[in-house]
């Protein structure tokens, strides 16, 4: 600093940022937080919708049974303390495959939309 000059402090507030470093040559403070938790609500709602509407999909009984088994697997995984997000994604993708293979109709469209939300929750986690 030159003699007779005043140093002014400039404070910046950068909100909504992640993995961002701001600072100066002299000192800086950085506080970061990120919400990377699993959004279980969307997944549980999807499983409930799947159970309630699976009969309307028009799948053969064997495929419907397997679809409901996958839903039970997904529910078991999400309710466990040490859930494996990769395994949950794989199960959700299998469920989505059943939905895509089912005859087109209102139940299929509704459940495909719900599966998109559930997969989004899994991909974000």
The lowest-confidence range among 3-7, 69-73, 87-91, 120-124 is 3-7
pLDDT tens per residue across span 14-57: 555 555 555 555 555 655 444 445 678 889 999 999 999 999 99
Residue 4 scores a pLDDT above 60: no
> Is residue 62 classed exposed, middle or buried when 0-12, 13-18 and 19+ CB atoms within 10 A define those classes?
exposed
Torsion of CA 55, 41, 71, 119, to 10 degrees: 100
Q: Would you state the pLDDT for residue 41? A: 85
Give the residue extent of every domain in the chain: 40-124
Q: Average pLDDT for residues 62-71, to the nearest whole number? A: 97
Tokens coding 56: 């309307």
pLDDT tens per residue across span 71-102: 999 999 988 888 888 999 999 999 999 999 99
Is the pTM higher than 0.75? The answer reads no
Q: In this structure, are residues 43 and 87 in contact, taking their beta carbons and an 8 Å threshold?
A: no
d(Cα 58, Cα 124) in Å, to the nearest integer? 31
């Amino acid at each position: 600093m030159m003699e007779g000059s005043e140093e002014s402090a400039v404070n910046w507030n950068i909100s909504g940022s992640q993995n961002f470093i701001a600072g100066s040559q002299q000192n800086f403070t950085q506080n970061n937080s990120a919400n990377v938790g699993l959004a279980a609500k969307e997944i549980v709602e999807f499983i409930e919708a799947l159970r309630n509407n699976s009969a309307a999909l028009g799948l053969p009984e064997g495929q419907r049974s397997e679809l409901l088994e996958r839903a039970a697997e997904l529910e078991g995984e999400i309710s466990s303390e040490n859930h494996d997000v990769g395994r949950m994604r794989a199960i959700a993708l299998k469920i989505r495959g059943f939905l895509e293979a089912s005859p087109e109709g209102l139940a299929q469209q509704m459940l495909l939309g719900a599966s998109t939300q559930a997969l989004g929750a899994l991909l974000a986690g």
